[in-house]
Amino acid sequence: MSIINDIHQASKVIQEGGIVLFPTETVYGIGANAFDDEAVKKIFMAKGRAQDNPLILHISDMDMLDDIACDISFMEYQLMDAFWPGPFTIILNKKKGIAKVATCGGDTVGVRMPSNKIAHDFIKQSGVPIAAPSANVSGKPSGTNIQDIIDELENRVDYVIDGGESDIGLESTVVRVIDDEVRILRPGKITKEDIEKVISHVSIDKNVMGKIGIDEKVLSPGMKYRHYAPKTPCKLIYSDDFQKMKDAICEIASKEEKVLILAFTEDLVEFQQYTCIDIGSKNHLDEVSHGLFSLLRKIDDYDASLAIIEGLPLEGLGLAIMNRLIRACSHDYLVL
């Protein structure tokens, strides 16, 4: 295992059936040759990932798409055209008989063409679609820089490409076209509002913010697993009425032995009497998402009895941030 940014070497590791930690514009991924079932199994082992949670296949150009997906509709092409390369994953009909382990034997395949140059060159030189989940042990926040994940994953992968901090910091938007409507299964940097500029009918799957029953069938299996969660119990609180939200946060905080409050820069002054972490400015949600996973990884350092997190309106990038926060709080979410 070595951390040398040699894309040629990394692609050789892929061709020989190894697994590689690599950067993308969203978060880091752990990649393998999507067509090599034995190699893909190593990813599931390295992450401790549930066997029914399929991986996204990453491609470098449209030629690769023909090898993995079929019966693509005009609307699906419109979406790929608008948002690729970029932080956008689309669930398509799978070409039969391929990438069984990566797709968990299903009829569909999630496909993304990353815009990050290292990711693009790495996939292209490997010459095959790269199956890759986010780089983290299952349940933990996704890795957005090597420092956060190297201890967790170093001995579980065959090669590491260090591409610095991820630009976006949140995983890609995942969508599926159902009955001429675009359904958002996981919100991300490409927002509902962005997609509406291309396709008029866009909806948000109920599981994006809702709680999922243990046996419930879901369109995107990843949504049902515990994710991003620190060991410290966390509670997310939101109201459109700031005073109401502030009063609720302070009331709950006052009853705790050792509370930690995660508040937006603008509101820190309101919680001065408590230990606070700055989430970033509500006016710069790009920066908030960029630092979010590193922030979640820091919560446990405070040894608090409860972490209270200030929420946001479910608009624009706010929806993607709240989707991650609600999981960090294991759905302990109070809307007032």
Residues that bind ligand TXA (CB under 6 A): 24, 26-27, 29, 53-56, 87, 89, 91, 103, 106, 108-110, 112, 132-134, 171-172, 174, 186, 219-223
* Amino acid making up residue 39: A
From the list Mg ion, ligand TXA, none, pick the one residue 110 interacts with, judged by a Cβ distance below 5 to 8 Å according to partner type.
ligand TXA
Give the C-alpha separation, 202 to 199, whole Å: 7
Residue nearest Mg ion (C-beta atom): 134
From the list Mg ion, ligand TXA, none, pick the one residue 56 interacts with, judged by a Cβ distance below 5 to 8 Å according to partner type.
ligand TXA
Cβ nearer to ligand TXA, comparing 85 with 87: 87
Residue of the chain from 11, 103, 134, 207 that contacts Mg ion (CB under 5 A)? 134
Give the C-alpha separation, 148 to 150, whole Å: 6
Q: What's the count of helices (H) and strands (E) in the chain, helices before strands?
A: 10, 16
Q: Count the neighbouring beta carbons within 10 Å of the beta carbon of residue 198.
A: 15
Q: Phi and psi at residue 206, in whole multiples of 5°?
A: -65, -25
From the list ligand TXA, Mg ion, none, pick the one residue 323 interacts with, judged by a Cβ distance below 5 to 8 Å according to partner type.
none
> How many chain residues interact with Mg ion (CB under 5 A)?
1
From the list Mg ion, ligand TXA, none, pick the one residue 234 interacts with, judged by a Cβ distance below 5 to 8 Å according to partner type.
none
- Minimum CB separation of residue 142 from Mg ion in Å reads 5
String of DSSP letters for 171-213: PPEEEEEETTEEEEEE--SS-HHHHHTT-S-EEE-GGGTS---
Nearest to 66 by CA among 107, 109, 104, 106: 109
Cβ nearer to ligand TXA, comparing 105 with 313: 105
The answer for residues whose C-beta is within 8 angstroms of residue 217's C-beta and 6 or more apart is: none
Cβ nearer to Mg ion, comparing 134 with 289: 134
**Which range, of 16-24, 83-91, 128-136, 179-187, touches Mg ion by CB under 5 A?**
128-136
Binding site for Mg ion (CB under 5 A): 134
